């Protein structure tokens, strides 16, 4: 049968059905939109399995190290108590500058008792601990009684050093430490080395 021979009513019915089918498909398409593909934000880092494992290993190592340090046995520190005095029974003298000297000493109790025992009983009263400072400038061999002059400094028994003002550059000095009685008699316990105070002024040496 050719198209021109189809009745008009039949063609209208077919057209209506076709339009109805198109509308149904359009409604279905509107109701079920296509799923949008999830796109990762470029700001979000993607951590691989290997990177994650590496991070876990580093974290475990950190705690393992802390535990090892805490568990390590630290050897106790050895402590030493230095004695206040060594009992050398000596006094040393050093020049500080053209006007001052510095003396330090270490005297044992045994040496002190020995000297006191050698002092006559009637001269032991009111003994004072003192330094006797001798000017030995130009003295060839100092013996204790041939100094140019001397002066005394009363010191405390607890002291073990003293600064001494001589106010004389380029002069030689010696110091004794001992006991002095009210009459001025001196009983030496130890004698120092001899020192010379420095020159004061511009050096004559020119390079």
Q: Are 2 and 11 in contact (CB under 8 A)?
A: no
What domain count does the chain have? 1
Q: Which residue has the higher pLDDT, 55 or 101?
A: 101
Cα-atom radius of gyration of the chain, to the nearest Å? 54
pLDDT tens per residue, range 64-103: 666 665 566 666 778 878 777 777 899 999 999 999 999 9
pTM, to two decimals: 0.60
Task: For residue 34, give the 3-state DSSP assignment.
Answer: coil
Q: Do 97 and 165 meet the contact criterion of CB atoms below 8 Å apart?
A: no
62, part of any domain: no
Tokens describing residue 194: 């001899």
Question: pLDDT-derived band of residue 175, with 50, 70 and 90 as boundaries?
Answer: very high
Q: What CATH number is attached to the domain comprising 121?
A: 2.60.40.10
54 falls within a domain: no
* Domain of residue 145, residue span: 90-196
């Amino acid at each position: 049968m050719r198209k021109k021979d189809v009745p008009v009513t039949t063609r209208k019915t077919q057209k209506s059905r076709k339009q109805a089918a198109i509308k149904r498909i359009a409604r279905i398409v509107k109701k079920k939109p296509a799923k949008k593909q999830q796109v990762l934000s470029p700001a979000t880092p993607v951590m691989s399995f290997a990177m994650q494992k590496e991070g876990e290993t580093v974290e475990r190592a950190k705690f393992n190290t802390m535990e090892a340090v805490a568990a390590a046995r630290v050897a106790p520190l050895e402590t030493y108590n230095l004695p206040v005095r060594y009992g050398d029974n000596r006094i040393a003298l050093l020049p500080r500058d053209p006007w001052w000297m510095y003396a330090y000493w270490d005297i044992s109790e045994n040496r002190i008792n020995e000297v006191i025992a050698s002092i006559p009983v009637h001269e032991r009263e009111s003994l004072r601990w003192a330094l006797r400072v001798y000017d030995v400038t130009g003295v060839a061999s100092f013996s204790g009684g041939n100094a140019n002059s001397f002066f005394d400094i009363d010191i405390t028994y607890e002291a073990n050093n003293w600064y001494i003002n001589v106010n004389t550059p380029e002069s030689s000095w010696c110091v004794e430490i001992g006991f002095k009685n009210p009459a001025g008699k001196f009983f030496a316990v130890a004698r120092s080395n001899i020192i010379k105070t420095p020159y004061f002024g511009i050096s004559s040496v020119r390079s």
